[in-house]
Structure 1
Amino acid sequence: MNGVLTSPTTNDIKQHRRSVSLNPRDAKAHALLGLALLKDGQLDEGIACLRRALELNPKLRDLRGLLAAALFECGRNEEAADAYRQALRFEDEAELHRGLANSLVRLKRAQEAEPSARRAVELAPRSIPALLCLASTLHGQGNFEDTAAVFRQVLALDPEQVDAQFDLGEMLHRLNRHDEAVDCYRAVVALRPGHVNAHRHMGLSHRHLRQNDAAIACLERAAELVPDNVGVLCDLGATLQMNGNLDKAAPILRKALALDPTSEHALRALAHTAFSMGEWEEAVALSRRLLDMCPAPETHSMLLFILSHCCLDADELTREHFGFGERWEAEWRTQWQPHPNDRDPMRQLRVGFVSADLYNHAVSHFIAPLFQSLKDNPAVALYIYYNNTIDDETSRGMRANVAVWRPIADLDDDAAERLIRADAIDILIDLSGHSARNRLPLFARKPAPVQATYIGYGGTTGMRSMDYILCDQFLVPEGRYDDQFSEQIVRLPSGALFLPDLGAPPVNDLPALKNGYLTFGSFHRASKLSRGVIAHWAKLLHAVPDSRMLLGGLQSGIDDRLIDWFELEGIPRERLLLRPRAPVHEYLKQHYDVDVCLSPFPYTGSTTIGHALWMGVPTLAAIGPTNPSHAAAVFMVHLGLGSFITEDDDTYVKLGIFLAQNTQTLALMRASMRQRLQDSILGYPDVAAAGLELGLRKMWQRWCNGQEPAPLQVRLSELVPASE
């Protein structure tokens, strides 16, 4: 059984059978036959013979360990565990403890296995198999820190244990210690250059570190080793997509999908890539296919996010969003638990925020100033439930401005709900909507008595458990989009903040005065652009025939596509100015070449428009029947520039012509734009924070009074202290 005996011949087994036949109550004869059968791979009959031998003579203790090992080899894990326990009654041996622990790990009873695994290591501290067994029990309990420590012990005994080196890398990856994980994978590759998973996982760790070039190099090497491995191709394609190499990503992901049409990874990554390239029809089709194949809230949210960028039918977009709530929330409505929160309408409120974007992300640029303004406000205590592992200067700054910061990326919805209820949160606020890494299924459980969505998404969640949506008064003008929301609308005096980049370059003179022609521009991400958007802009360029169009923030694979789209609309390449993605200062300086920015539709922008305004550049925008199209209006209306917003194509073109004919007015506007922005409430976080606080208080008071959620308005005049 352990390789000591040579393999038995057929004659040997026949001889042992004859001995058993002649002496049926001879335990030794049964034992010898059992061992011969085990050696011959006839495990089930061999196990039966050993059992019979022990029945005849329980004193044959050495057989118990062999029986246990045979049961383990057969996958009869419960029986193996019992056999190992029987053997351990007679002998406290490392091998037996290891066998028991391994059997229990197979049974997914890792916690029960740990004492045996630790005893095996005590008895044989330099035994690599014993240490690996202990690592397995710790890993089975999700104790990755201690698992990593055990793998380090193994490597100290034998640095060339390639599997242990790789597994250590996996543990460090799970612990988000990606620098150390990369070192482990690099050591594996040094010992075994063809180790595909080491190249692959090293690439994924580099990706987590945002070392995208290194990540791509590792994943390309893995793809060279296994060119038809769907998982490797998906990882490579997705990493290229994240890095902006869309033209390279798309064919790789299409190959992966051709190899495995049922690959969720390939479908998801290709849908993201098509979306990023402005190929909305393909992105929607792939997302619907993904949802049909892998029905889950996150895949449904992905579809809705894409639809919000391209659907011009308000009824269809609303129906699709409301369908999310019916599909994923309905089962929880009957399971909502009561909330014992103290119904004092004026006490300090515990306000929780759930988000994965509390790092250097657009959402943080809006919410971080509010946290800072509310930090010392006795009316509210802020609790953060952070659904990400990225830790940067922005996230650390926000952590310092809130009462409690709780990571929940590794918590399932059950655990997260228990945590929120234990914190006695009064109002829970979602900052993601249907964007990536949202926790809307957590909100479906109704862990807090009052729930709202805010900032992170251009539209409704479609959920009844989401009582309110908090928004700027100009984002959802009263009566215009109300029926597109499952939530009750809370209109705030300021729901859009803009704090300029401290290193922004100064505003320059209007370039049209020097050029003699108007230059339109767009710095929006390519996923907001499409054939329809380009066709719309082309009408304007035809109407102002000497104008130019600057396209900034471009990714690889996008520029040629946009050039083609413009040429199909009769706009030649020489009228287009292309600018790559750039660091913030350079990106802002690219506005030096732009007179008027254009906003895409139906999903417009906020931060991009704010940056343009700070550089003196107004945005001409078309709004439409769906609420996501109205975001562009917020900044412009707050600055008294509502005339730059239209919902009529003819008026849009006429506005462009008017601006081209009135460059002196544009020049004066450019020179005064920063002051105009500074004089507006957009640059005053304290105003936005006060409005938010009062909105939360009104929502809370309705709950305290036993009233259903209802539309609410917070007016600027309400924020002025009574003494004034």
Structure 2
Amino acid sequence: MNNMIPPDVQAKLAQRRQAVRRSPRDANAHALLGLALLKELQLEEGVGALQRGLELDPKLRGVHGVLAGALFDLGRYEAAVDCYRKALRFQQAADLHQNLGTALLRLGRLEEAEPSLRRAAELAPGDVETQLGLVTVLLALGRHDDAREIMQLVTTLTPDQADAHYRLGLLLCHIKNWEAALASMEAALACAPDHLEAQRHVGLCQRELGRADETIAALERAMALAPDNPVLLDDLVSSFQKFKRFREAIAVGRRILVDRPASQRALSSLVHCHFTLGEWEDALAAARLTLERVPSAENHSMLLFVLSHCCSDPEELTREHFAFGERWESGLVGQRQPHGNARDPRRVLRVGLVSGDMYGHAVARFVAPALEALKDSTQIRFHVYYNNRIEDHVTRAMKKTVSVWRSIVDLDDAAAERLIRDDGVDVLVDLSGHSALNRLSLFARKPAPVQATWIGYAGTTGLRAMDYILCDRFMVPGERYADQFTENIVKLPLGALFLPEPVSPPVNPSPAMQNGYLTFGSFHRASKLGREVIAQWASLLHAIPDARMLLGGLESGIDDVLVEWFADAGIPRERLLLRQRTSVREYLKQHYEVDVCLSPFPYSGSTTIGHALWMGVPTLATVGATNPSHTSVPFMAHMGLHTFITESPETYVKLGVFLSQNLPALAAMRATMRQRFLDSILGYPGIVGASLELALRRMWERWCDGLPPAPLSVTMQELAELHRVAPEADGTVEATPEK
């Protein structure tokens, strides 16, 4: 190091060292040597010299601040804080307060840092960097309004500085004030039209405000400044996808993969866009490519989710799902730890629910009423482990029905497992399967002694660590499909209830009686409607030449695809009624035009079938060799409509023809359908709650007895023997133990 110091500087340092040797108790000599050493970046030796000087004379002026800065540079923040505080006894300077606050920030002591940074801002009101230091700590403390006020001051201090407006815009983005953020970003561009990040954030703000054309235009202007910028390309593909401009998203995604073949954003976008358009072969190919290039449990789940929608081969579908467990579970088996849960079969159970869908999502629609029915249970206490940042009124309501609610969205599997074990969870229940935001890799670690999956996915998880799957008894009749699960099947009298929308319109008279012809309908998402589905529906329309087909819930960019597929199957556009996605009430009123709904395959529907039944419309469905094809059965079977379900495409067409020839009978059924629904068990949460409670108890009892998991069932007769089950006027079920 000394060889890099100029000779004259070396000579000066030698003089300083000589002075210290001559007067070893001279505080100034030590301080001057320390300052000279720091100037040459010899920090450790310089700090030692300054500290010795202060030992000899604690009142040396100006030395504490210099020593504090050197200690900060060395990462010795605690010592730096002490020195800055001593320096402030001699001098109230903005830079000392700011540096003290910054050191405290490095130590994570936000509450202590804020007064120092605020004092610095008071002492230097015109210094932008000092004001920004205070903004930093205010943001960290969540005091967004105070931070915004200061940032607005900064922009008045530097009205022509683009970066000040840009930083204010970033702050406003952070607190999701998108309109104000947009204004700040545009002010930055007024100062510096080539400010790339400001231009990019104009696009991001417009995207959050739901303005499709403005978003794309802004991002394309940013692309003109940096044509190959990877971040901008990612923003562009995400924006095209968000605004359902799927063809453009696919084109940009492919462009990204040329230079970044392992781009998760581009690969996932290709899967999503092709899948949403019902282009199953392309979606499946993209999903396989994604897993190949970016191997992960999440990407493997994405592949299985796509496959479950398009695979009719039970052996292939089962093999692919079982491969998930073999790939992501086998390496964890030897690392699993024993469970210390007390083996008491009768104690109150701690039941964990893992989900990313506890908001206004279809899964929450099924789960929330069951939790409400069990919120006062003396047998179960629910712990929710939520894997999402979205929270809405549904989330807030669900939080009130459980004992513990924890977020795991920022926890890796190891940390989430520790949390679950520390909470002493007895039975851990997955509510996602292979759908988005699942944590199946967490379940593979076996954090709880008993594990089950329920309601979130039509099919197996493929995990041996998943002991059970909870199913409606009509979902897995007899031994059918049993070999398609790694889990032991637990059959419930009602696996998932259906609660009608409070805004539901009344049932209308049969449209066929007025039209003189039959109108079929589908309100399923287009990702379930592949060419094979459209071909079968077209066969039905060919067999009934005057029939019409209503396609509801459509989104921009999708209706053209479906019209093309029908045309390829010989059904012209004039026989199709296209209805766009709309509000819930208007969506339900679209059933006024429909006589019979049609269910897709091999991944059928459930919620849409429930809505149709409530509106008086039965669903004609086919089931196949894979379990996902059977999801249409439970709701129909609980209503006694087995005759609308068939395994034969030929019989399917014959049923449709029969209905077209018996319009008065269909009209009579429509008039009584809502009462038929009310007479069924579909709308009673207490039945789901009581059967779930009993099933979980039986799983737990087997573990307490040292028995392996085994197939189980709960029947209505058993519930009647254990509880008094009586539907109440409000649609709940009172279930209390008999005395």
The normalised TM-score by structure 2 is 0.82
Question: Quick one: which amino acid aligns to residue 658 of structure 2?
Answer: F
Counterpart of 1:433? 433
Question: Quick one: which amino acid aligns to residue 402 of structure 1?
Answer: V
Which of 184, 188, 191 aligns to 1:187? It is 184
What displacement does 1:410 show? 3.4
Question: Quick one: which amino acid aligns to residue 108 of structure 2?
Answer: Q
- The change in CA–CA distance for 1:351 and 1:81 in structure 2 (over 3 A counts) is closer
Cα distance in 2, alignment partners of residues 722 and 113 from structure 1: 56
Counterpart of 1:306? 306
What displacement does 1:290 show? 1.8
Whether 2:441 is the aligned partner of 1:444: answer no
Question: Quick one: which amino acid aligns to residue 476 of structure 2?
Answer: V
Counterpart of 2:331? 331
- The change in CA–CA distance for 1:662 and 1:118 in structure 2 (over 3 A counts) is same
Deviations 1:697-720 (A, max 9, x none): 111111121211111000111010
Counterpart of 1:494? 494
Counterpart of 1:546? 546
Residues 318-467 of structure 1 mapped to structure 2, 5 A cutoff: 318-467=318-467
What displacement does 1:659 show? 1.8
Residues 281-296 of structure 1 mapped to structure 2, 5 A cutoff: 281-296=281-296
Counterpart of 1:36? none
What displacement does 1:686 show? 1.3
Give the secondary-structure state (helix, strand or coil) at the position aligned to 1:637: helix
Deviations 1:168-223 (A, max 9, x none): 6656656xx42x35523432332335554445456656766xx423x663453133
What displacement does 1:69 show? 8.4
Relative to structure 2, which stretch is displaced further, 585-594 or 49-58?
A: 49-58
Cα distance in 2, alignment partners of residues 330 and 166 from structure 1: 49
Counterpart of 1:7? none
Cα distance in 2, alignment partners of residues 153 and 680 from structure 1: 62
Q: Is the 8 A contact 2:615 2:674 kept in 1?
A: yes
Cα distance in 2, alignment partners of residues 631 and 182 from structure 1: 44
Give the secondary-structure state (helix, strand or coil) at the position aligned to 2:295: coil
Whether 2:690 is the aligned partner of 1:701: answer no
- The change in CA–CA distance for 1:594 and 1:97 in structure 2 (over 3 A counts) is same
Give the secondary-structure state (helix, strand or coil) at the position aligned to 2:504: coil
- The change in CA–CA distance for 1:45 and 1:484 in structure 2 (over 3 A counts) is same
Q: RMSD of aligned C-alpha atoms?
A: 3.8
Runs of 5+ consecutive residues of structure 2 not aligned to the other structure = 19-36, 54-59, 725-739
- The change in CA–CA distance for 1:603 and 1:197 in structure 2 (over 3 A counts) is farther
Question: Quick one: which amino acid aligns to residue 436 of structure 1?
Answer: A
Cα distance in 1, alignment partners of residues 378 and 13 from structure 2: 86
What displacement does 1:334 show? 2.5
Q: Is the 8 A contact 1:386 1:406 kept in 2?
A: yes
Question: Quick one: which amino acid aligns to residue 315 of structure 1?
Answer: E
Q: Is the 8 A contact 1:314 1:625 kept in 2?
A: yes
Relative to structure 2, which stretch is displaced further, 165-174 or 543-552?
A: 165-174
Counterpart of 1:691? 691
Counterpart of 2:531? 531
Residues 528-677 of structure 1 mapped to structure 2, 5 A cutoff: 528-677=528-677
Q: Is the 8 A contact 1:151 1:165 kept in 2?
A: no
Question: Quick one: which amino acid aligns to residue 640 of structure 2?
Answer: G
- The change in CA–CA distance for 1:267 and 1:505 in structure 2 (over 3 A counts) is same
- The change in CA–CA distance for 1:63 and 1:635 in structure 2 (over 3 A counts) is same
Question: Quick one: which amino acid aligns to residue 297 of structure 2?
Answer: P
- Give the total of aligned pairs: 680
- The change in CA–CA distance for 1:48 and 1:251 in structure 2 (over 3 A counts) is closer
- The change in CA–CA distance for 1:22 and 1:350 in structure 2 (over 3 A counts) is closer
Q: Is the 8 A contact 2:148 2:172 kept in 1?
A: no
Q: Is the 8 A contact 2:199 2:221 kept in 1?
A: no
What displacement does 1:369 show? 1.4
- The change in CA–CA distance for 1:702 and 1:570 in structure 2 (over 3 A counts) is same
Counterpart of 1:223? 220
Q: Is the 8 A contact 1:88 1:96 kept in 2?
A: yes
What displacement does 1:628 show? 0.7
Deviations 1:104-139 (A, max 9, x none): 98xxx6538997897576566545435545666788
Cα distance in 2, alignment partners of residues 425 and 55 from structure 1: 54
| Percentage of pairs with the same residue | 52
Counterpart of 1:41? none
Question: Quick one: which amino acid aligns to residue 497 of structure 1?
Answer: L
The normalised TM-score by structure 1 is 0.83
Whether 2:506 is the aligned partner of 1:516: answer no
Residues 127-166 of structure 1 mapped to structure 2, 5 A cutoff: 127=124, 128-130=128-130, 132-133=132-133, 143=140, 145=142, 152-153=149-150, 155-156=152-153, 159=156, 163=163, 166=166
Counterpart of 1:238? 238
Q: Is the 8 A contact 1:100 1:113 kept in 2?
A: no
What displacement does 1:308 show? 1.1
Counterpart of 2:57? none
Relative to structure 2, which stretch is displaced further, 393-402 or 566-575?
A: 393-402
Cα distance in 1, alignment partners of residues 490 and 71 from structure 2: 65
Q: Is the 8 A contact 2:200 2:222 kept in 1?
A: no
- The change in CA–CA distance for 1:165 and 1:349 in structure 2 (over 3 A counts) is farther
Q: Is the 8 A contact 1:117 1:133 kept in 2?
A: no
Cα distance in 2, alignment partners of residues 617 and 628 from structure 1: 22
- The change in CA–CA distance for 1:309 and 1:406 in structure 2 (over 3 A counts) is same
Q: Is the 8 A contact 1:94 1:121 kept in 2?
A: no
Q: Is the 8 A contact 1:518 1:548 kept in 2?
A: yes
Cα distance in 2, alignment partners of residues 558 and 359 from structure 1: 26
Give the secondary-structure state (helix, strand or coil) at the position aligned to 1:475: coil
Question: Quick one: which amino acid aligns to residue 25 of structure 1?
Answer: A
